[in-house]
Structures are given as C-alpha cells and as structure tokens.
C-alpha cells in the first residue's frame, strides 16, 4: 500500500472531526487546520503527496508518518520550523533516555550490562531490565522496532509501556509474550512490527522466548551455543503463541543478546560484520564481567566499521551468572 493510500482514511477522518468541531467552536485555528487537511487531500489526488514543495524530493518517511500534513523536507524547513523540529528531537532524546534501564545491574546471582547506540538522535531498539519485587529474579528484553528515527522511537516507547503494564500482573512468560503481541498488534498499523527476545533470570536458570529476533548466544565452557527459536515478530499476527526454553548457566557463563546493528554494521567496502565474526570474537575474548564483554563487542564492531557512520541502531546486552 502506498503512503498516500495508507494516510487517506486518516485524513478523511480528521477532516470530518474538524468540521464537526468548527461548527460548534469559533476558533480560527480549526479552520486553518481544515485548510491544511484539504491541501493534503488535494496533494494525494494530484500525486504530489509526500514530496517536498521546494525541491520535489520525497519527505523523510518518519516525519511524514508522524505528521501527515508535512509539506517540506528537513532541508527546506524555515527557521521557525527547524527550531521546533530540533526542540522536538531533544525532547524525544530525553524521554527515551529516561525509559532505558541502568546500564549495569546486579540482581541476585546475575550481573548485567548493556550498550545502546542509536544511529540518530533517537532509536528504535528496545532494551529492558526490570527486577521482580522479591529481588531474586530479573526480567530482561532486547528488541528492534521496524523503521528508524522518531517514528520507530515512538513505537519502542509504546512497546515498553505494554510490557511494563503486563509485568505488573506477574504473568508466566508464555502468556506475557502472547498478550504483549496481541496488544501491540491491535494498537499499531499493519506495517508495524518488532523483533524481540526476552526472558527471566533467577537462581542460575533462565527462561527465554524469541519473537523473530537475532539468535541469543550462550558463552560457556569455552564454546558458543546459538539458541535458535521458532517465532514471528510481535505485531504480525494477533493470535501468535511463543514457546519458551529453559536453560541453566554455571558461574561465569553468559547470555548475549544483540540487535542487527551489530551483525549488519558495514565497513568502507560494504562488508558486514556478520554473525561469524561475532562468534569468532567471542571465542577469542576472555572478559571477566558483563560490562567488559558488552563493551568489547561494541568496540570490535566499531573497529570493523571504521570511519563509516552507523546505518542502524546498535544494542548489546550481556547477562552473566556470577
């Protein structure tokens, strides 16, 4: 479905509500908004919707999703609009930073550390670490919302709210995943989805479930185990069920979760870092803490990428059994 076809019902609905409000409220701003909606509908009809009125190049998709009335690309905003856009990005960055958990956390016999690097001011990766009320177990999650920029960060915030609400009612992990999937599916557009791996850690054992995300890796006994799971991303089908695996880890053994910003990082010749390089690096490295291991992975990816700017958000989460 094209952007214009997807946004048409939304604009028609807004027009109807604005007309109803304008009949009962004498506010010039309502008539101004109605004129903007009509102008957007005319652009859809003429085939010019989504194109900058100055350079006739496509407007940034995430801006258009956030504001269907947008008429100019970022390069052609006037000073007032550019200043407002910069303030919005700063606010979004602050909000997202407040949603992220502490970088390092120790709960019972588990130590954790994560590194979160957004490709822009805000990111669409999702990272969660929430100790249970008894202080003996830990909910953990790492995910990646489809898309980039502000639109992806809004979906990440929505996904975080869903899980935090469901965690308050202490559901078993399979039911937590299926309910989160249904809520995310029913409250987002059909094109929106999120890959995610999550679980609970308690007393040397893990239960873990994967919704189409990068395979988790176990580092133990001098070898790497790749945990392959069935499961589609959250938001694709409302009635999905997600299986759970149970794993025991010994002292010093680690679970590594990461987003595809790790494996898909490219160097100057467009060569991806890839899963094989990650596995080889983990076999050769001997960090003695979750923080050291997470930071070493991020540093190795940065070395591979060199001066190339990141093209995607990058997140690494390590859980280590103490």
Q: Which residues pair with 315 in a beta bridge?
A: 116
Q: Which residues in the chain come in under a pLDDT of 50?
A: 1
Task: CATH number of the domain at 65, please.
Answer: 1.20.120.910
Residues 101 and 72 in one domain: no
pLDDT of residue 257: 98
User: Can you spell out the DSSP letters for 69-122?
Assistant: T--S-GGG--HHHHHHHHHHHHHHHHHHHHHSPPSEEEETTEEEEEEEE-SSSS
What tokens appear for 158 in the block? Answer: 């929505």
pTM (two decimals)? 0.74
pLDDT digits (tens, 9 = 90+) for 260-302: 999 999 999 999 999 999 999 999 887 779 999 999 999 999 9
Residue 108 included in any domain: yes
Same domain, 51 and 175: no
Please give the distance of CA 57 from its chain centroid, rounded to a whole number.
27
Say if residue 167 is in the same domain as residue 131: yes
pLDDT tens string 212-260: 999 999 998 889 999 988 788 999 888 889 999 999 999 999 999 999 9
Same domain, 115 and 192: yes
Is residue 128 located within the same domain as residue 262? yes
Do 16 and 65 share a domain, yes or no?
yes
Q: Are residues 153 and 299 in the same domain?
A: yes
> 194 and 61 share a domain?
no
pLDDT at 65: 73
What are the phi and psi torsion angles at 286 (to 5°)?
-135, 50
User: CATH number for the domain including 162?
Assistant: 3.60.40.10
Whether 258 and 317 have beta carbons less than 8 Å apart is answered as yes
15 and 68 in a single domain? The answer is: yes
By residue range, what is the domain housing residue 51? 3-77
> Closest Cα to residue 295, out of 117, 69, 98?
117
Residues 101, 73, single domain; the answer is: no
Give the Cα separation of 234 and 148 in Å (integer). Answer: 17
Phi (first) and psi of residue 209, to 5 degrees? -135, 150
87 domain-assigned = no
| 136 touches 314 (CB < 8 A) | no
């Amino acid at each position: 479905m094209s952007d214009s076809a997807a946004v048409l019902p939304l604009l028609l609905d807004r027009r109807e509500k604005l007309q109803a409000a304008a009949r009962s409220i004498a506010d010039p701003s309502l008539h101004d908004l109605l004129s903007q909606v009509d102008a957007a509908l005319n652009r859809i009809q003429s085939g010019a919707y989504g194109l900058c009125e100055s350079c006739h190049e496509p407007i940034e998709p995430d801006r258009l999703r956030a504001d269907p009335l947008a008429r100019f690309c970022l390069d052609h905003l006037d000073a007032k609009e550019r200043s407002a856009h910069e303030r919005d990005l700063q606010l979004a960055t602050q909000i997202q930073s407040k949603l992220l958990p502490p970088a390092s956390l120790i709960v019972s016999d588990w130590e954790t550390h994560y590194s979160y690097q957004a490709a822009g001011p805000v990111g669409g990766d999702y990272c969660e670490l929430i100790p249970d009320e008894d202080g003996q177990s830990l909910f953990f999650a790492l995910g990646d919302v489809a898309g980039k920029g502000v639109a992806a960060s809004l979906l990440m915030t929505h996904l975080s709210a869903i899980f935090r609400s469901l965690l308050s009612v202490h559901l078993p992990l399979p039911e937590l995943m299926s309910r989160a999937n249904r809520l995310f599916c029913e409250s987002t557009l059909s094109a929106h989805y999120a890959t995610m791996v999550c679980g609970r850690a308690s007393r040397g054992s893990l239960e873990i479930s994967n919704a189409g995300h990068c395979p988790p890796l176990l580092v133990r006994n001098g070898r790497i185990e790749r945990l392959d799971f069935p499961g589609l991303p959250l938001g694709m089908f409302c009635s999905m069920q997600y299986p759970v695996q149970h794993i025991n880890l010994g002292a010093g053994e680690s679970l590594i979760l990461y987003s595809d910003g790790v494996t898909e990082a490219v160097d100057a010749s467009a060569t991806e870092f890839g899963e094989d390089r990650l596995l080889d690096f983990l076999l050769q490295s001997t960090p003695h803490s979750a923080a050291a291991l997470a930071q070493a992975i991020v540093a190795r990816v940065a070395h591979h990428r060199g001066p190339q700017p990141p093209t995607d958000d990058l997140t690494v989460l390590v859980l280590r059994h103490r």
